Amino acid sequence: MKQDIFQAIADPTRRAILTLIAIQALTPNAMAEKFDMTRQAVSKHIKVLNECDLIKPEQSGREIYYHFNAKKMQEFDYWLAQFRQKWEIQFNQLDELLANIKDEK
């Protein structure tokens, strides 16, 4: 069963894993060394990220390296883009309001 991308990235450990492998592909053991948890716990996070296609496994000899799937994150970014413009307009209006209040003082 496919996992929901929002549930996957809601977890801070999974976001940290994504940040790590965005820089460099890592094995589960290498990832586990970066966290204060067991390799089995890291494997559960990897499973969720893999089911969402946020990471891609690549077999290299006896090791599996996980790579960041930027294409999947791009899909997420496109979805967010529809809101980004509205947020920017509202933040700009708030900036103007705060500047006006400051000027009045």
Residues 26 and 77 in one domain: no
Residues 63 and 32 in one domain: yes
Residues 30 and 56 in one domain: yes
Residues 76 and 52 in one domain: no
Residues 25 and 63 in one domain: yes
Structural domain range at position 31 = 1-68
Q: Is 61 helix (H, G, I), strand (E, B) or coil?
A: coil
Q: Give Cα separations from 99 to 33, 69, 86, 90 (angstroms).
A: 48, 41, 20, 14
- The two three-digit tokens of residue 25, written as one number: 């592909």
Written as tens digits, the pLDDT of the chain (105 aa) is 567 888 899 999 999 999 999 999 999 999 999 999 899 999 999 999 999 999 999 999 999 999 999 998 888 888 888 898 899 999 999 999 999 898 887
What is the reported pTM? 0.76
**Domain count along the chain:** 2
Residues 7 and 27 in one domain: yes
* CATH number of the structural domain spanning residue 31: 1.10.10.10
